[in-house]
Chains A and B, each alone.
Chain A
Amino acid sequence: MRLPEGWVTAAALALLPAVALWAWAADEPFTITLATRAAILALAAVGLNVALGIGGLVSLGHAVFFGIGGYAMGILAFHAQTYAPLEIGPLTIAGTRSMPLIWLVATAASALVAWLIGLLSLRTSGIYFIMITLAFGQMAFYFAISWTAYGGEDGLSIYVRNGFPGLNTLVPIQFFALCCAVLLLAVALQWRLRASGFGLALDAARQAPARVEAAGLSPRRLKLAAFVLSGALTGLAGALFADLNRFVSPSMFSWQLSGELIVLIVLGGTGRLAGPVIGAALFVALEHWLGGLTEFWLVWLGAILLGIVLFARGGVVGLLTGRAGPHV
């Protein structure tokens, strides 16, 4: 097929709201929850896509940021619900139930950690980068397990979903609308980034770092900036994911999740604007549909993935537009 990419993007962005609205009209709250899950995973994947799809950084540790976002929500809401302020040295923080505040903390904390991890792992490249990001992901996982103050292995339950001014987030369609709006903003940001001089330079840094450097720009700094932004977006998704489930646990840091985020992007189309959204929708649909057919649905996901890697580079967007995406 050879559809224009703009159409594919528009259709992909309309897909989730359409499904959610239908489910709302048909009174199928579970489907709305699935659409919300897809929107949040898509947001996390949009974050990863900035680093991976444009910058060519194959991060196998993005669950770190997802988990940090989740725990930012968990910790702040936990202190609010137990009325026990959080004391860090001389600082006393009361905790909060306000989503905007939680989001701010989640993105800032993820960005900071992304900066630290990026600073270290960008000293290397290629296969080292993959292994190092994977290792730091595992470090965060074990840290969360051993951190018993916030539930350790069992995680933390938050009893009531946090609030957003003007919305009742307990109503599924309202929470979906909120997540979807954040996703659309992130997609717009990704588009704007790709169209900017920074996007051009980052894209070139993936393909010809020596040229970028010879033009007076530092490929490492460009990649670090992309990695930080990427981590911040994925962290924001983590905060929303925690609010969707009203639960955070070390599994948000797991390497499987890091792998799945890459899978989402490649299913949809690496580096494509709509790739993460299509990939996340497809992943949640497969999980639901195949998971209903067989307990061992991951075998089939594995087989599908192998097929895509070996025979269909470019994912769904690649198939629809007839053009392979950027080569990572």
Chain B
Amino acid sequence: MTPILLIEQVLNGLQFGVMLFLMAAGLTLIFGVMGLINLAHGSLYMIGAFAAAAVAGATGSFALGLAAALAAAAAAGALVEVAVIRRLYRAAHLDQVLATFALILIFSEGTRWAFGSFPLFLDIPAALSGPVTLPGGIEYPRYRLALIGAGLAVAVGLWWLTTRTRLGLRIRAGAEDREMVAALGVDIRTLYTVVFALGAALAGLAGALVGAIQSVQVGMGEPVLILAFVVIVIGGIGSIRGAFVGALLVGLTDTLGGLLLPDLLALFMENGAATQAGSALASMSVYLLMAAVLIWRPAGLFGRPA
């Protein structure tokens, strides 16, 4: 394995990680503030991707597609929050699981209804297509590099929002003690809707950004959702910092596991078997990481112990 390949894969891992962060940040925020487990978060990711693909396809503008993704996912999030989610905050986890599972069915089949079963494609904008040459002579796709930049920018923005703004103060206070915040005259219902829409917009953004390097299709959200859950379990529920660290860990583990494990196993067994076992193990590596964290720190890296 060459160093160049390794650096490329590290960058791929980072890119995957920051996109996971966009998903996990919304989930962990929604759980931290409202105590809700939202399985339908993957649907919002899918809605973002479809909106971007449809609008970009019609107008030819990637930027308009992105704007549409943000708007559509935020709107869908706000709508769902007002119509359904709002009734679930005090409900048992089982009810939350079922209701949001029902939302997945409705969103997925509804999208299939509207767009058919064939995947859509979203083109990378011309300005970001092609490779860029990094120091050391490594050629790397410009768009993927832009994704890393966008993800990091959102992470900084979220940090700023939650620690430096009045909305962030209210969000953090709402997570600590909702009665107190309500007593202080903050409209908690609106706050919840805003937080949910914000999380939805992040998911939609991730869907749109990733939609340009993968096909846009029904069911694309759930595998990402489950990995985002792994990220949250590793990082600790409710912690945005944990979501960031967890996302990068998961992104890197997933990408590098597939690269390194077959080589690593080849030291111990014959080549064919090593490739087999390596690829099987690589597909599990993220989950093994989660298991290790659970043994070491059941509440996650940045979670508060129960």
- Interface hits, A100-143 → B, CB 8 Å: 120-121, 123-128, 130-132, 134-136, 138-139, 142-143
A301, B229: Cβ atoms under 8 Å?
no
Q: How far is the CB of B38 from chain A (nearest CB, A)?
A: 10
Is there a chain B Cβ closer than 8 Å to A4's Cβ?
no
B residues contacting the other copy or chain, number (CB 8 A): 49
Among the 9-residue stretches A36-44, A155-163, A222-230, A258-266, the one with 4 or more Cβ atoms under 8 Å from chain B is A258-266
State how many angstroms separate the Cβ of A226 from the closest Cβ of chain B: 16
Establish whether residues B226 and A134, one from each chain, have CB atoms under 8 Å apart when the complex forms: yes
- Determine which of A263, A270, A298, A306 lies in contact with B84 in the assembled complex, contact meaning CB atoms within 8 Å: A306
Q: Is the interface of A mostly helix, strand, loop or mixed?
A: helix
Contact assessment for A134 and B280 in the assembled complex, using a CB-CB cutoff below 8 Å: no
Q: Is B22 located at the chain interface by the 8 A CB criterion?
A: no
Q: Which of B105, B233, B294 contacts A299 (CB 8 A)?
A: B105
Tell which of A15-23, A144-152, A197-205 binds the partner. A144-152
Instruction: Say whether A303 faces chain B, with CB atoms less than 8 Å apart.
Output: yes
The docked-state distance in angstroms from the alpha carbon of A121 to that of B92 is 19
Cβ contact within 8 Å between B99 and A305: yes
Q: Among the interface residues A131, A139, A142, which one has the most CB atoms of the partner chain B within 10 A?
A: A131
**How many residues from A make CB contacts under 8 Å with B?**
47
Instruction: Give me the interface of A with B, judged by CB distance under 8 Å.
Output: 52, 58, 60, 120-121, 123-128, 130-132, 134-136, 138-139, 142-143, 145-149, 255, 259, 262-263, 266, 270, 296-299, 301-303, 305-306, 308-310, 313, 327-328
List B residues at the A interface (Cβ < 8 Å): 31, 37, 39, 84, 87-88, 91-95, 97-99, 101-106, 108-110, 112-113, 222-223, 226-227, 229-230, 232-233, 237, 276, 279-280, 282-284, 286-287, 290-291, 294-295, 298-299, 306
Starting from the known contacts A299-B106, A299-B109, 9 additional A-B residue pairs (CB-CB under 8 Å) come to A134-B226, A134-B229, A138-B226, A139-B284, A146-B280, A146-B283, A298-B108, A302-B103, A310-B99
Can you list 5 residue pairs at the A/B interface with Cβ under 8 Å?
Answer: A58-B94, A124-B299, A130-B93, A138-B227, A305-B102
